[in-house]
Amino acid sequence: MKGLLSFFAKRYIAGEERKDAIGVVRRLNARGILATIDNLGEHVKDLPHAEEAVREYLGLLNDIRDAGVDSTVSLKLSHLGLAISEEIAERNAEVIIKRGLELGNSVTFDMEGSRYTRKTIDIFLGLHERYPNTAIAIQSCLYRSASDVQLLIERGASVRLVKGAYKEPPDIAFPKKRDVDRNFEGLMKSLLLKGKNPAIATHDERLINEAIRFAEENHVSKERFEFQMLLGIKRSLQRRLAESGYRVRAYVPYGPDWLPYMLRRMRERRENLFFVIKNLFD
């Protein structure tokens, strides 16, 4: 099983070390594609592992600067100790964000399962008041996301809009894909009109084409937003968009935790596995 997953992972995971991620980003940049690097890890329950994650991110930010590659970083608060306490996660995130600001880089908060949604947004908003080099992911699958996006727009925060990769109960999330897509489209248009440098993070070509049409119709320039996609997914589409003058950013995960990461995603939603297999030949 590990051997089979390793075969798949080589396309979607940069490797186990920072240098692997930097090498992947350098190749992406050569094709006109930006990046955001994520050190894989989540649900940390002890302080030493959370502190280790902080050190890794500080090293990553330094390596990005030293290599001269064009990449931001993305992180999960549960990797920094959110399961221990909100205070620990916020303190650890601030250390990373502050170093990013010193280096002229930015940090995006990934959104995790719904049990962390409120805590992630609260911590983000508190830090964003002091550090403008921050952004946050919002999932269109959740009912609450419309009000969250409105609040973030009002606070001048940059949003990465995603559909959501977690299996959520129907009392808090849209159970049908068409409703998730419809909500994504509505939130996407609000962000294009009123948001600050929003990231439209989807591989759905219908939604991408609608974003392009809507932006042109409303005179939203290509410089005011970007498309984001996962490493190894829709590679030809990423290249076409970049060649057409759109900002395209690939999400580049790395780290020794790649196997547990992939297994968790497959357990959470079988659609995640089908999605990966479907895109193998692009």
What residues have CB less than 8 Å from 264, skipping those under 6 apart? 42
pLDDT along the chain (282 residues), means of 10: 61 92 98 98 96 98 98 98 98 98 98 96 98 98 98 98 92 96 98 98 97 98 97 94 98 87 61 59 62
Which residues are CB-neighbours of 222 under 8 A, at least 6 positions away? 215, 245, 246, 247
- The pLDDT assigned to 10 comes to 74
- Give 145-185 pLDDT, tens digit per residue: 999 999 999 999 999 999 998 889 999 999 999 999 999 99
Number of domains in the chain: 1
Paired residues of 147 in beta bridges: none
What residues form DSSP beta bridges with 227? 200, 248
What's residue 268's pLDDT?
54
The H or E element spanning position 137 is: strand 134-139
Yes or no: say if 238 and 249 are a contact pair by the CB < 8 Å rule: no
pLDDT digits (tens, 9 = 90+) for 10-49: 778 999 999 999 999 999 999 999 999 999 999 999 999 9
CATH number for the domain spanning 136: value is 3.20.20.220
Query: Quick one: pLDDT at residue 167?
Result: 85
Domain that holds residue 8: 2-278
pTM: 0.93
Give dist(CA 247, CA 145) in Å, integer. Answer: 24
Provide the annotated active-site residues. 110, 160
pLDDT reported for residue 11: 78
User: Given this model, what pLDDT does residue 94 score?
Assistant: 98
Token look-up 């920094």 returns 80
